[in-house]
Amino acid sequence: MGVCIEVMIVDWDKVEAMPASRREEMLIDAACGDEDYGDLDEEGWIWPSPADADWYGRYAFRRTNGSYKPHFWAGERWEHIRDYAAPRLRTALDRFTAPLFWDGFEYFVGEDAGAVPEREGAWHGGLLVWRPPEDVAALKGFWGEAEPQLKTLREPFDQHAAVPQGWICDFESFAELLMGWGEVVVEADRRGWGLLGLRC
């Protein structure tokens, strides 16, 4: 059975102001609770009504059905093409995608490794991804550098990473997942919020 992920942006200060004993329940209820979010196939931003909450928003990646598998496979495809990317693009995407892909911190070596550092723990052990607002700002910078160059990865992807079927089998699906992550990062940064990915 695969891992499902709920990606959220959150008002970091508001969550940290909650008693530690209540944070896990609050986050899980927000991410995985039975609130009425409309169509289960909805994609993109899903916001609670203002009367329910003003401290989070959920993001459903397009064509993933809430599964983490596309994120994993996007990381695998990146492994196959990263050596063909221009050095600045490779560095930017390594850092931009690090919180999104399994083993993303593998490339955090060298003198600039502290830009989006690996951090100790978080609010509870069910988090797959967590980045406080200061890291989100750095991620937005990496995305601003990488996004205009994404199209240069089409040819190496077609030659070295494309597969006939499965998750992230072509360049379009790879780019779409990265664009979704970009939406999350940009919106979180705009609000001065952090971001989370919870197992659900």
Query: How many angstroms separate the CA atoms of 181 and 175, rounded?
Result: 10
Say what angle helices 171-191 and 69-81 make with each other, to 10 degrees: 110
Using a pLDDT cut of 90, give the percent of the chain over it.
54
DSSP classification of residue 102: T
User: What's the one-letter identity of residue 110?
Assistant: G
Torsion of CA 32, 34, 35, 41, to 10 degrees: 70
Give pLDDT, residue 186: 97
Show the CA angle centred on residue 146, arms to residues 145 and 150, nearest 5°.
145
Average pLDDT estimate for 97-110: 58
Neighbour tally for 142: CB within 10 Å: 21
- Locate all alpha helices (DSSP H) within the chain, ordered by sequence: 12-17, 20-32, 69-81, 87-97, 133-146, 154-160, 171-191
> Residue 116's closest CA among 100, 129, 128, 99?
99
Average pLDDT estimate for 8-30: 87
Q: Is residue 13 within 8 Å of 183, Cβ to Cβ? A: no
Q: What is the pLDDT of residues 125-147, one digit of tens each?
A: 566 778 899 989 999 999 999 99
93: CB partners within 8 A, 6+ apart? 78, 82, 85, 142, 146, 178
Give pLDDT, residue 34: 55
Show me where the domains of the chain are located.
Answer: 5-199
List b or e across 177-188, with b for residues whose CB sees 16 or more CB atoms inside 10 angstroms. Answer: bbebbbbbbbbb
Between β-strands 5-10 and 194-199, what pairing exists: parallel, antiparallel or unpaired? antiparallel
Give pLDDT, residue 98: 86
Tokens of 179: 């664009």
Q: Radius of gyration (Cα) for the chain, nearest Å?
A: 17
How sure is the predictor about 68, in pLDDT bands with cuts at 50, 70 and 90? Answer: confident
**Mean pLDDT lowest for which of 64-68, 135-139, 142-146, 193-197?**
64-68
Beta-strand runs (E) in 44-191: 44-46, 56-60, 127-131
Q: Which residue has the tokens 């809430």?
A: 66
Which one has a higher pLDDT value, 45 or 123? Answer: 45
